[in-house]
Structure formats: structure tokens, C-alpha cells
Amino acid sequence: MTTTADDVKAWTLASLPAGSANNQSYQVINPATQQACASVPDCSAADAKKLADASVTAFDTWKHTSAFHRSQLLRKWFDRIVSGANEIAQAISSEMGKPIKEAVGEVMYAAGFAEWYAEEAKRLYGETFASQHENKRLYATRQPVGPVYAVTPWNFPAAMITRKVAPALAAGCTVIVKPAEQSPLTALLLEQYWREVGGPEGTFQVITSNNPAEISGVFFQDRRIRKLTFTGSTEVGVLLYRQSAETMKRVSLELGGHAPFIVFADADIERAAEEIMACKFRNAGQTCVCTNRIYVHRSISARLIDALATRISALRVGDPADEGTQIGPLVDEQGLNKVREHVEDAVGRGARVVVGGQALGGLYFQPTLLCDVAPGMRILEEETFGPVAPILEFDTTDEVVAAANDTPYGLAAYLWTRDLDTAHRVSERLDYGIVGINDGAPSTAQAPFGGVKMSGLGREGGVWGIQEYLDTKFVSVALAPR
């Protein structure tokens, strides 16, 4: 399909009504057509400074609003996101290629964070505690950390924003979101909806830019911006963590993963295969919690490979705008090349392609099943971020637990067994922030999401997520002596 200039809608920033200070824009590319589908302001450091000032000004008022008021606004935002689900899903699908049905699912997942934190805003508690002095009264209370800078990824353009913005606003913080260069449209819609329901000026702002380092530099140097929250690669996370140190920001980092999926000998093969499909092929494998290594007990490996091969061959690859599509394109050329290189490297070192294995033209890659995968292959060391399922065999529990933990990452891990002891004992031994037992899709708004080791710091979601936006203040009151 050829895109004409008329199809390319020019978006503006609500926070900078006249467009970016230098009036530059950049094009958003639809991965399915590899043509521009929109253009957005390419903001500069001067724009970032304006947004930081607005965020700081708004914080002065927002932090003093009542939790009940913030709760009501968040509830309205939730309702607006739900009513705009199709519009947001279309934006997601055109800017990063997620199949439209799955994109609607992401919008509902994203809305869940607005709903949860609308409720959670009212449930922030403090503590009183005893003093050794009769006349002293001691208590600890929670206060918002201050203006927040949020850097969000392209793979979940809606959910990774609401998972940060909803708890920040609920806690009384203001937020500036810099969405990934590839996926600014969803962010702009979410900000527009917040304004439509009465979200005050400066409380939630979006800044788009094709030069993230220039923009981010402004926020890192600004002492008034009190927190960084980032979802993305470990490599970039380490860089941003270092830069945050200069102004001692609070930091939350949701970074890369390399999830093992262990299938024990007693597994229900058909159900295990279903969970692996849900886990591995979600968002065409472009998910931090997707399994990247499937360990299957040698006694059942042939049966599991058959069950997976049937399902993978049946996946419908195609235009993300079609309701029936299950696997869309990869986000960009770089993403496609990595997937291709991982498969070529594995095959070159002795892996066997059971299904797929080839690029399909454009940014599409065949859903792929590899067996005879072995240590030393790149696919076992780096995140593939694509629709490739590598299978390894194991014999003993100790051996598979050691292999599963032998990675710098620690985000999510999965296991399938019918044995209660194995389920609990192995789950306890896995060095991961999230464990799915017979469950390949554990993410939900009310649960803690986050990793250990090089997978990051802090937790998002549930009662844990809002604590990342709160400081503890100790108050000591000395009464007049009796």
C-alpha cells in the first residue's frame, strides 16, 4: 500500500499548543506497510524545559488535592480509556504493528491500571509508633515524591504508560511521559483523554522526540524532577540509572528478561502447550516476560514438540488491521535483523528448525520452533524479542533449575507440573521477580510486576506500584510535659 501525504495525520502536543519550539516534526512508521502513518512534533531541549516548569508548578497544587478528588479523576480517565478502546487500539496497531484484537486487549489491560489506582489512591496509610518519652507522639506519613519523568517502550504503548502514570497521579505526583520514538500516538491519545475528563494542566504531559538523549538530559539535570521510571532494555536502563544519580532521583526500572519455561515430566502436554503459546507468541514475542527458553523433560519432549508444532503452524500471520491476524510484523528493521540473526546463529551451531525459520518479506518473520538448542547459542543469552520458540531437554530438577538461573536476567519464569511439591519448591528456587505456575500469562493490574538482577529495580502494579511514588515522612511531636 502506498501512503499519500494526505493519509499522514500531523499530531500536535497539547502541552505545547504551538507545536515544538523549533517547529520540527518526525514521521511515525507503520511497520505493516513501512510507510509513514503520522507525524508528531520532534521536541527540543527548550520544549523539555517548558514541560518541566509546568510539571513543577502543577505539583504545588496537585499534591494538596484530596485523594478522593484524584480518585474520581482517575476513575473518569478509566471510563474514557474504555470508551476510546477502538481508537487507541488502532493507534497501537498502526504505530507498532500489534494485531488489532490483541491491541484492544492491551487497552483493557492498560485501563485496568487507571481503575486499580483510582481505588488505591484512597488507601494510602501511615503508622503511629511508641516513644520512650511520655510526652512524645511519633508517626510516619506518606507524601508524593514530586514531579516524575517516565520513559516508556513501544511494545505496550498504552499499558506501560498507565502502569506508571496512574499510580503517580494517584499518589499526588505530576508526570511527564516520553514515549518511545516508534509509538508516540497512543501516548498523545492518553494525555488527550486525561485532559478531556478534567485532568489539570501540567499534571500529565507527553513530550515526543526523535532525539531522546537531548530531551532526557534536561530532566536528568533538573533537581526538581524527583523520580525516573523507565521500561526498556537493560542497556539503556543502566545508562539512565547512572544519569539519575547526579540529581539523586528515585528510580524504578523495568528492564529486559530471558524467561525460562520449564515443563516437567508429569505435565499435561496439551495445556502446557497452550500456556507456552500464550506466553511466547504474545505481541509476536516482543514482550519482556515472553519465554525465551523452553526446557522440557527428555521423556516428554517429542510429544511437546509435536503439540507446539501443530499450534505454531496454525498461527495466522498478516495485516495487523485484520481481526483474524495473530502475528503481525516486527517493529522495525533492527528488530527483524536480531530475530533472523538469532535463528541463523542457532541453526549454524546445530539447532534444527521444526517450523518456520524464515523472514517473510517486509518486517514479517515466520513463527518458528527450534529444537536441539544448546548452550553457547546467542538465542540463550540475548533477548530475541520475536516469534521464535527454542526447545532444550533436561533430565533432573537440579540441572534445570541451575540452567534457568544461569542468566544475568531475573524478570519472569514459568513452570508446568501437576506436583504440588515441585511447583512450590522450584518456584522458591527460581531467581526471578515473577513466577507463573501452569500459567503463561500472569500479568494483571493488581499484581507486582518487576524483576531482580539485571532485570531492574522496584515493582509496578498493585499495592506495591504506588509506593514507588511516595516518600515516608517521620513526624515527632513533643507535647508540653504533664
Q: Is 288 a catalytic residue?
A: yes
The grid cell for 114 is 487507571
Catalytic residue among 254, 275, 383, 460: 254
Work out how close the CB of 35 gets to ligand SIN at its nearest, in angstroms, rounded to a whole number: 26
d(CA 9, CA 398): 56
Shortest Cβ distance from residue 411 to ligand SIN (Å)?
A: 8
- Residue 252 as a binder of ligand SIN (CB under 6 A): the answer is no
Give backbone dihedrals phi and psi of 414, rounded to 5 degrees, phi first: -135, 150
Cell numbers representing residue 49 in the block: 524545559
* DSSP calls for 416-464: E-S-HHHHHHHHHHS--SEEEES-S----TTS-B--SGGGEES-BSHHH
Region of 151-159, 164-172, 196-204, 259-267 interacting with ligand SIN (CB under 6 A): 151-159
Residue 291 binding ligand SIN, by CB under 6 A: no
Number of shown-chain residues binding ligand SIN (CB under 6 A): 10
| Residue closer to ligand SIN (CB basis): 29 or 288 | 288
The region of 56-64, 115-123, 286-294, 369-377 touching ligand SIN under the rule CB under 6 A is 286-294
**SS3 state at 388:** strand
Q: How far apart are CA 329 and CA 64, in angstroms?
A: 46
Please report, for residues 359, 364, 392, the alpha-carbon distance to residue 293 in angstroms, rounded to integers and kept in the order given. 21, 22, 7
- Which of 25, 231 has the CB closer to ligand SIN? 231
Residue 91 or 412: the one with the smaller Cβ distance to ligand SIN is 412
User: Closest CB to ligand SIN among 115 and 254?
Assistant: 254
Q: Sort strands 434-437 and 368-371 into parallel, antiparallel or unpaired.
A: unpaired
Contact stretch for ligand SIN (CB under 6 A) within 154-162, 181-189, 365-373, 388-396: 154-162
* Cα–Cα separations (whole angstroms), residue 411 to 86, 97, 290, 454: 31, 24, 10, 9
What DSSP assignment string belongs to 84-138? Answer: THHHHHHHHHHHH---HHHHHHHHHHHHHHHHHHHHHTT----EEE--SSTTEEE
C-alpha span between 400 and 416 (Å, rounded): 13
Note whether 289 and 259 are within 8 A (CB): yes
**Catalytic residue selected from 37, 288, 290, 371:** 288
Q: Select the span of 153-161, 311-319, 320-328, 397-405 touching ligand SIN (CB under 6 A).
A: 153-161
In terms of CB distance, is 42 or 254 closer to ligand SIN? 254
Q: Which stretch binds ligand SIN (CB under 6 A): 284-292, 347-355, 420-428, 463-471?
A: 284-292
Q: Is 287 in the site for ligand SIN (CB under 6 A)?
A: yes
Task: Tell me, residue by residue from 159 to 178, as one string, x for binding to ligand SIN by CB under 6 A and - for no binding.
Answer: x-------------------
Closest CA to 215 of 47, 41, 58: 47
Among residues 183, 291, 443, 455, the one that binds ligand SIN under rule CB under 6 A: 443
Q: Does residue 288 bind ligand SIN (CB under 6 A)?
A: yes
- Sequence-ordered list of residues with C-beta below 8 angstroms from that of 461, at least 6 positions apart, any chain: 113, 116, 163, 443, 444, 445, 446, 447, 448, 449
Which residue of 155, 183, 203, 216 would you call a contact of ligand SIN, by CB under 6 A?
155
Out of 156, 193, 220, 281, which residue is the one contacting ligand SIN (CB under 6 A)?
156
Catalog residues that contact ligand SIN under the rule CB under 6 A.
155-156, 159, 231, 254, 287-289, 443, 449
Residues assigned a catalytic role: 254, 288
